[in-house]
């Protein structure tokens, strides 16, 4: 599971950087849907880091809320409750 989470977060981080580059160059972009689906499948930390590092989608409240929500849900899923 740890390898999966590392890989999905690296992919999410890189895709935020690629989408920012494409936005600057006025080229066809990665859809918001696909960026958010990465968070759903565990790439929420990579997405948040990508937003911060690349200054991309930081003004869209929807991205902050969804990424933070999915981060909380993944933490609750991964941390065993005794």
Domain residues of the chain, as ranges?
A: 2-78
pLDDT confidence of 81, banded at 50, 70, 90? confident
- What is the distance between the alpha carbons of residues 25 and 79, in angstroms, rounded to a whole number? 41
pLDDT digits (tens, 9 = 90+) for 18-58: 999 999 999 999 999 999 999 999 999 999 999 999 999 98
Half-sphere exposure of 18 (CA within 13 A, CB side): 13
Q: What is the pLDDT of residue 82?
A: 63
Mean pLDDT of 57-69: 92
Give just the sign of the alpha carbon dihedral 21, 23, 26, 28. positive
pTM over 0.85: yes
């Amino acid at each position: 599971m740890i390898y999966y989470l590392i890989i999905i977060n690296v992919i999410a981080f890189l895709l935020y950087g690629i989408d920012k580059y494409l936005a600057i160059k006025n080229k066809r972009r990665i859809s918001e849907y696909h960026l958010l689906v990465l968070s759903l499948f565990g790439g929420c930390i990579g997405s948040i880091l990508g937003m911060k590092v690349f200054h991309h989608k930081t003004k869209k409240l929807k991205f902050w809320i969804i990424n933070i929500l999915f981060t909380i849900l993944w933490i609750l899923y991964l941390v065993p409750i005794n």
